[in-house]
């Protein structure tokens, strides 16, 4: 399926935005000033004579041919998560601010009214996690990225990445394996199979997720655009996980953007003997106040909170959890909690049958509940914690008085 | 060579301390109270009838036979680093406070007057680093522990560990390979080759370092004593590095003691797929404000400061560096700095010849200078930084304006 919401693709402003998309990555400060001062339509009118080869109507036709659609700021489905880019771009270089437009292609369209499952871009800063890392990834890094993305997808998260070799590809593949939605933000046109070896992967992402670019169809992958593109990966996600990065890896720029946007920045460690983890370890060492070490999807949820919160819901990275009592939960989640036995474990399939939901949706609800300490996963299924059982028992966070073995509250040693 | 300073081994207090050493690990609160209230000699007089089998003179004879000596609190050479134990042991269980005595054996005797190189126990909290971890270590962990200990030894640090299988053994072996001093704190008598497979390793440590125990010769390695012993490993070092630890590894107790003593706690990460790194990652995740991720000896020095400072010199973990100007350095270090060219690199051998010191000693001085940002290692040798060249140039810490590639001061991206 294709197509976003019905919008007038031929308005002067949309045509101007489509045209100006061609100029991303050239650092044209004068043009940027014109766009800022006059708006895209007027700025493009002025710039047009110098760019006779740019024909936005032709680009939009090409986009429609491949089943895509143009998304402009203000359109229904425009990702709110990108709103912070203009603030984050301290110097007024246009290419680090809000993109002119997003050229989209894929099954996970933006904002379908009435949809329950989060897909597409609209709420990406609620349900998206960026998983990025080195192109020259090791087997270890690819394995970890794949497992992490699969597990995140199974918990309902949309995995955002850049479709590059190495970690990016492993992340997309993991998300697809987890039957989840994945978004690839490209540095070239959404009709360009780049890298060529990822032709099939890009097809799969398009069929079950989304390809997004801020440059028009046919645009080649320019080196400079990769770094610029990285801000969109960070901006489309609630947090960014860096899996492997050498000391100069381009993925570090995505990490930087995530921090500038105030999103969670999470880093997967690796062997200290691996050059591909040097950048990761350095981030964890030198910026430990803003970088969280994560080892799996559960850690990620502990950092950025349960799926469904906004990035501006007051969840800082390092993760205070909303204190709300059980009553403040959505009805379906309350029903789920009420379907759980007071003692003992219950399987996901049983719970799904009890409340008339799909097992996958039950699983997606259980993840956040576990993070909030209301339920916990056990070998035999899920069970209520003291906190989940009711307001008079237990304490928030960890289960009742269990020694965490490291620096326990109730110390083992005197 | 053997023997510590000449002290009267037959004084009532010393004999009492030797005798009371037998009772370590049994958690006898009444005895502890008696020792605290009456002092060791009187407490032992009272306890003696209940312990007819304890003969401290025989133990001291046995110690002398194997070339060892008894070190008691207040003796010349008593490690100052243990002074914090009584404060750290919040509940008054005697076995977590200052030990009754240390039974010592090995070539690196305590406090030899006039010695330049730091060896032995006296100043261990200036020049000692504990390297500990799981017995069931992986090849990766053993490799990293060995490399780290070797590198620390080459920089002049004394490597303290527990002579156990796995990480401990790798740490001792690495320190010996680095031609350094290493101290093994045993949970059994210093005459007991435990574990038996480490007979040769223990011999080597004794020949070039030190075996230390708070229990008398002939004492078997009781399970409970291992955890108690760990406080001495932490107490004898300026900081503790945890290399591999499962979720319930005993090495985590050494980490805990290091924190209680206010010493630096450093953790080496590993593959997130390795069960032997789970404890390490959990520490780094959940206690990141007190645990520093380290990947090599340089990182360790960044955390706990250059060799030669005391633990109470105001260096907190996470490492503010003493601001002292070049003039406050020891004469030999100033001579070294003055022997360096204003521009360009110079090799260690050349520097050693210029100032009439051994290359090894020059290297040991260069490490801390590099940490303090006065010199830096380059492919062609060492060179002065702007800070090292003089007080009017440069800024402390990192070299002048160089982009660290992650979150640089002068941002690459706007």
Secondary structure of B318-375 in the HEC alphabet? CCCCCCCCHHHCCHHHHHHHHCCCCCCCECHHHHHHHHCCCHHHHHHHHHHHHHCCCE
Q: How far is B296 from chain A (nearest CA, A)?
A: 8
Chain A hits for B272, Cβ within 8 Å: 144, 268-270, 295-296
Chain B hits for A91, Cβ within 8 Å: 414
Yes or no: say if B24 and B95 are a contact pair by the CB < 8 Å rule. Answer: yes
Are A293 and B271 inside 8 Å of each other by CB? no
pLDDT at residue A313 in the model = 56
Which residue of chain B is at minimal alpha-carbon distance from A287?
A: B407
Q: Which of B309, B263, B265 is nearest to B88 (CA)?
A: B263
Provide the token pair at A264: 């969670």
Are B144 and A287 inside 8 Å of each other by CB? no
pLDDT at residue A320 in the model = 34
Phi-psi region of A7 (alpha: psi -120 to 50; beta: other; left: phi over 0): beta
The ipTM of this complex is 0.72
Query: How many inter-chain contacts (A to B, CB under 8 Å) are there?
Result: 124
pLDDT at residue A90 in the model = 56
Q: Which of A252, A288, A412 sits opposite B405 (nearest CB)?
A: A252
CATH architecture of A13-304: 3-Layer(aba) Sandwich (3.40)
Q: What is the mean pLDDT of residues B271-277?
A: 97
Provide the token pair at B52: 């007819």
Q: Which of B259, B277, B292 sits opposite A285 (nearest CB)?
A: B292
Q: How far is B97 from chain A (nearest CA, A)?
A: 10
pLDDT at residue B93 in the model = 56
Yes or no: say if B54 and B27 are a contact pair by the CB < 8 Å rule. Answer: no
Q: Which of B248, B281, B407 sits opposite A256 (nearest CB)?
A: B407
In the 8-state DSSP scheme, what is residue A212?
E
pLDDT at residue B317 in the model = 39
Task: DSSP for B376-389, please give it.
Answer: EEETTEEEE-HHHH
Are A283 and B406 inside 8 Å of each other by CB? yes
Domain with CATH 1.10.10.10 in chain B: 326-389
Q: How far is A102 from chain B (nearest CA, A)?
A: 22
Q: How far is B41 from chain A (nearest CA, A)?
A: 26
Are B272 and A269 inside 8 Å of each other by CB? yes
Chain A hits for B92, Cβ within 8 Å: 414
Which residue of chain B is at minimal alpha-carbon distance from A27?
A: B414
Residue A237 has pLDDT above 90, yes or no: yes
Yes or no: say if A131 and A176 are a contact pair by the CB < 8 Å rule. Answer: no
Q: Which of B227, B292, B413 sits opposite A256 (nearest CB)?
A: B413
Residue B404 has pLDDT above 60, yes or no: no
**pLDDT confidence bin for B94, thresholds 50/70/90:** low
Chain B hits for A282, Cβ within 8 Å: 404, 406
Q: How far is B390 from chain A (nearest CA, A)?
A: 27
Are B144 and A283 inside 8 Å of each other by CB? no
Q: Provide the mean pLDDT of chain B.
A: 82
Kindly compute the dihedral angle of the four CA atoms of residues A393, A396, A397, A401, in this order, to the nearest 10 degrees: -40
* Residue from B149, B272, B277, B301 to probe the interface with A (highest A Cβ count within 10 Å): B272
Domain with CATH 3.40.50.450 in chain A: 13-304
Residue B186 C-alpha from the chain's centroid? 14
Cis peptide before B195 (omega within 30 of 0): yes
Are B406 and A286 inside 8 Å of each other by CB? yes
pLDDT at residue A341 in the model = 75
Chain A hits for B277, Cβ within 8 Å: 269
CATH class in words for B58-84+100-304: alpha beta
The CATH number for B326-389, chosen from 3.40.50.300, 1.10.10.10, 3.40.50.1970, 1.10.3720.10, is 1.10.10.10
Q: What is the mean pLDDT of residues B301-321?
A: 62
Q: Which of A96, A143, A404 sits opposite B413 (nearest CB)?
A: A96
Condensed to tens digits (0 to 9), the pLDDT of residues B375-397 reads 888 777 888 887 777 543 232 33
**pLDDT confidence bin for A30, thresholds 50/70/90:** confident
* Residue from B271, B276, B403 to probe the interface with A (highest A Cβ count within 10 Å): B271
pLDDT at residue B348 in the model = 82
> Rounded CA gap, B163 and B171, in Å?
9
Domain with CATH 3.40.50.450 in chain B: 58-84+100-304
Are B281 and A271 inside 8 Å of each other by CB? no
Q: How far is B312 from chain A (nearest CA, A)?
A: 23
Are B405 and A286 inside 8 Å of each other by CB? no
Yes or no: say if B167 and B243 are a contact pair by the CB < 8 Å rule. Answer: yes
Residue A148 has pLDDT above 90, yes or no: yes
Q: Which of A273-287, A391-405, B195-209 has the least mean pLDDT?
A: A391-405
Q: What is the mean pLDDT of residues B336-351?
A: 79
């Amino acid at each position: 399926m294709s197509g976003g919401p019905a919008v007038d693709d031929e308005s002067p402003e949309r045509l101007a935005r489509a045209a100006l998309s061609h100029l991303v990555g050239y650092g044209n400060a004068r043009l940027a000033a014109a766009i800022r001062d006059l708006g895209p339509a007027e700025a493009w009118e002025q710039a047009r004579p110098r760019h006779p080869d740019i024909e936005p109507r032709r680009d939009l036709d090409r986009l429609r041919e491949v089943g895509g659609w143009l998304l402009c700021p203000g359109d229904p489905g425009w990702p709110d998560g990108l709103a912070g880019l203009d603030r984050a771009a301290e110097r007024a270089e246009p290419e680090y601010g809000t993109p002119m437009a997003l050229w989209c292609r894929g099954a996970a369209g933006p904002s379908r009214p009435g949809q329950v499952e989060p897909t597409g871009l609209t709420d990406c800063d609620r349900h998206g996690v960026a998983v990025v890392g080195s192109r020259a990834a090791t087997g270890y890094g690819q394995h970890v990225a794949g497992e992490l993305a699969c597990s995140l997808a199974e918990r309902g998260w949309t995995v955002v990445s850049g479709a590059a070799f190495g970690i990016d590809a492993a992340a997309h593949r993991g998300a697809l394996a987890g039957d989840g939605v994945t978004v690839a933000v490209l540095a070239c046109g959404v009709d360009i199979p780049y890298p060529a070896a990822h032709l099939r992967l890009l097809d799969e992402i398009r069929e079950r997720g989304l390809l997004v670019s801020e440059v028009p169809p046919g645009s080649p992958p320019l080196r400079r655009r990769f770094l610029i593109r990285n801000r969109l990966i960070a901006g489309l996600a609630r947090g960014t996980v860096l899996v492997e990065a050498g000391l100069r890896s381009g993925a570090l720029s995505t990490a930087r953007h995530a921090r500038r946007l105030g999103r969670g920045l999470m880093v997967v460690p690796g062997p200290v003997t691996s050059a591909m983890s040097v950048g990761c370890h350095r981030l964890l060492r030198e910026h430990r106040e803003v970088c969280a070490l994560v080892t799996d999807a559960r850690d990620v949820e502990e950092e950025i909170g349960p799926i469904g919160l906004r990035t501006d819901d007051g969840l800082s990275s390092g993760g205070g959890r909303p204190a709300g009592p059980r009553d403040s939960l959505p009805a379906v989640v309350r029903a789920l909690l009420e379907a759980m036995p007071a003692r003992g474990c219950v399987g996901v399939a049983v719970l799904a049958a009890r409340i008339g939901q799909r097992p996958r949706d039950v699983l997606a609800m259980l993840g956040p509940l576990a993070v909030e300490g209301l339920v916990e996963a056990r070998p035999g299924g899920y069970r209520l914690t003291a906190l989940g059982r009711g307001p008079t028992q237990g304490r928030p966070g960890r289960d009742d008085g269990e020694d965490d073995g490291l620096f326990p509250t109730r110390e083992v040693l005197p």
